[in-house]
């Protein structure tokens, strides 16, 4: 058994807590590439391969859109089913954090680490959004756990050891199929190989790592064959990724990660501040304590975390040496080692009564502060889609007619209506006379359509409202005071 009977109760309790927090603080589809994944998975679920956007980098992340399409096929498309795969990945990461920490250290460390992960603001905030970070983290952790299981096997069970190592590589390949950033996180294994060589004073790489590489290659070949069959180019995904990174302008501010990691006063949750709570400080203190205690078992995690964060902060993402994009969701994969290191440091603080009381206080404080920052973080993300929800709440109470809206709002309204309403895109409706006996939503996507580039695509009648349109309702914009805002207005056109 993976978990002994005596250990099941606290693990189950933590998983239930994690589930309840993620349901209570449900975010759903948000302002990332969520709509791209949603529509691509829907096309697959309905068998409409002619609609598959093969030139989009998001659609080529097969371990995102394939599982989503399977869920859609069996339980339909709605807000919850769209987020289910990501929610399950998040819960799986909580469990794998426990299993990995228990194998590396002990049960107490594992329970504390799992508790921290279950309540972590960043993970809760992204656990129901449609982003690759959650499945990527799950498969990366699963790969690492398979490696740990292989390392614990005795020589008589060599076949089992080889199987676990091969599976480690396969799951690493799955992580790569979620997002190409898995290659960055996979540097953990060369780091482990270096530690092995230093420990054994040998410059020969263990055969173990060859099996991991083989497992990864199997998945890479499979993906290449899929793309070869689809477009005739086995490296199609790498080609599109390279093109996308050359053309997409994205956040590269060097102040972004420090602000997310360390800002705990006057936090603006709308700009992802507070997503880490106090954990950046807790992890740094843990680094220092573990180095002081010469806890060699923790060294590879500390070094991996530092190197990975340095690359995310200062690294490049193209052959033209463009700075790597910086988004809060990229930090999700750092969380397992962060919570394990913190739990390990607390365990090593000492066995005296005062030490135990201090440890318990630290655990309670970090857990409580995690939940506090989770509520704030989630509310910050919910502001992004508040206007879509308010627009939907109004439209669902009106007599059913065709709806026209901007492209930024279109996908969200389609999802809220479970793809059961006829919703057109006004950017594609240049002739105002085409709109008859329908509702028109103007300025409904705020944060998206507030950008000059997207507003320029709207037809002239979207800003110069025809006099014969009747205003049904004006909705107060949720982003008052943060962006240049446009109150969504719903019109009826006879």
Give the full edge-to-edge strand order of the sheet including 470-474.
Answer: 423-425, 402-405, 438-442, 489-493, 470-474
pLDDT tens readout for residues 30-54:
988 899 999 999 999 999 988 898 8
pLDDT for 480: 67
Q: Residue 362 corresponds to which tokens in the numbers above?
A: 């630290």
For 405, the token pair is 């809206």
217-228 core/surface letters (b: 16 or more CB in 10 A; e: else): eebbeebbebbe
255-259's contacts with Cβ under 8 Å and 24+ in sequence apart are: 256/326, 257/309, 257/312, 257/313, 257/326, 257/331
Which tens digits make up the pLDDT trace of 299-320? 999 999 999 999 999 988 776 6
What is the model's pLDDT at position 482? 59
Dihedral over Cα of 272, 273, 274, 278: its sign: positive
- List Cα–Cα distances, 387 to 6, 105, 457, in angstroms: 48, 47, 20
Q: Per mean pLDDT, which range of 80-84, 273-277, 447-451 is the poorest?
A: 447-451
Element (H, E) at 234: none
Report pLDDT for 71. 98
Distance CA 329, CA 34 (A): 13
DSSP string computed for 155-210: GGGHHHHHHHHHHHHHHHHHHHHH-TTHHHHTTHHHHHHHHHHHHHT--PPPTHHH
Whether 175 has a pLDDT exceeding 60, the answer reads: yes
Q: Burial level of 234, CB count in 10 A (0-12/13-18/19+)?
A: middle
Whether the per-residue pLDDT at 156 is higher than 50: the answer is no
């Amino acid at each position: 058994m993976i978990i002994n009977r005596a250990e099941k109760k606290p693990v189950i309790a933590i998983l239930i807590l994690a589930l309840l927090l993620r349901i209570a603080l449900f975010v759903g589809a948000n302002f990332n590439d969520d709509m791209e994944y949603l529509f691509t998975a829907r096309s697959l679920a309905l068998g409409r391969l002619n609609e598959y956007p093969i030139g989009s980098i998001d659609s080529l992340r097969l371990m995102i859109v394939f599982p989503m399409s399977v869920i859609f096929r069996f339980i339909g498309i709605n807000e919850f089913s769209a987020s289910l795969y990501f929610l399950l990945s998040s819960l799986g990461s909580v469990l794998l954090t426990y299993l990995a920490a228990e194998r590396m250290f002990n049960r107490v460390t594992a329970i504390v680490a799992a508790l921290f992960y279950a309540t972590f603001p960043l993970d809760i905030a992204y656990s129901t959004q449609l982003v690759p970070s959650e499945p990527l983290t799950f498969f990366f952790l699963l790969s690492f756990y398979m490696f740990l299981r292989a390392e614990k096997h005795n020589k008589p069970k060599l076949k089992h050891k080889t199987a676990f190592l091969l599976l480690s590589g396969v799951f690493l390949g799955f992580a790569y199929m979620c997002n190409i950033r898995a290659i960055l996180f996979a540097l953990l294994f060369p780091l482990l190989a270096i530690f092995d060589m230093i420990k054994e004073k040998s410059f020969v790489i263990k055969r173990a790592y060859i099996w991991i590489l083989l497992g990864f290659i199997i998945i890479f070949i499979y993906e290449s064959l899929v793309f070869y069959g689809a477009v005739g180019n086995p490296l199609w995904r790498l080609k599109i990724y390279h093109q996308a990174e050359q053309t997409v302008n994205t956040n590269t501010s060097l102040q972004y990660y420090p602000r997310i990691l360390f800002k705990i006063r006057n936090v603006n949750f709308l700009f992802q501040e507070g997503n880490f709570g106090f954990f950046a400080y807790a992890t740094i203190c843990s680094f220092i304590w573990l180095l002081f205690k010469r806890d060699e078992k923790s060294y590879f995690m500390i070094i991996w975390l530092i190197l990975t964060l340095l690359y995310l902060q200062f690294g490049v993402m193209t052959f033209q040496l463009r700075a790597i994009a910086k988004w809060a969701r990229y930090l999700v994969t750092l969380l397992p080692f962060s919570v394990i290191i913190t739990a390990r440091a607390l365990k090593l603080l000492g066995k005296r009564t005062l030490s135990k009381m201090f440890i318990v206080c630290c655990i309670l404080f970090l857990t409580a502060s995690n939940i506090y920052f989770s509520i704030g973080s989630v509310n910050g993300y919910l502001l992004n889609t508040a206007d879509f929800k308010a627009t939907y709440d109004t439209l669902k109470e009106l007599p059913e007619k065709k709806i026209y809206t901007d492209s930024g709002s279109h996908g969200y309204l389609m999802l809220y209506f479970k793809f059961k309403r006829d919703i057109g895109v006004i950017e594609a409706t240049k002739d105002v006379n085409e709109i008859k006996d329908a509702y028109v939503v103007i300025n409904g996507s705020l944060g998206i359509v507030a950008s000059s580039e997207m507003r320029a695509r709207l037809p002239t009648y979207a800003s110069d409202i025809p006099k014969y349109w009747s205003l049904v309702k004006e909705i107060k914009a949720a982003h008052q005071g943060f962006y240049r805002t446009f109150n969504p207005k719903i019109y009826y056109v006879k």
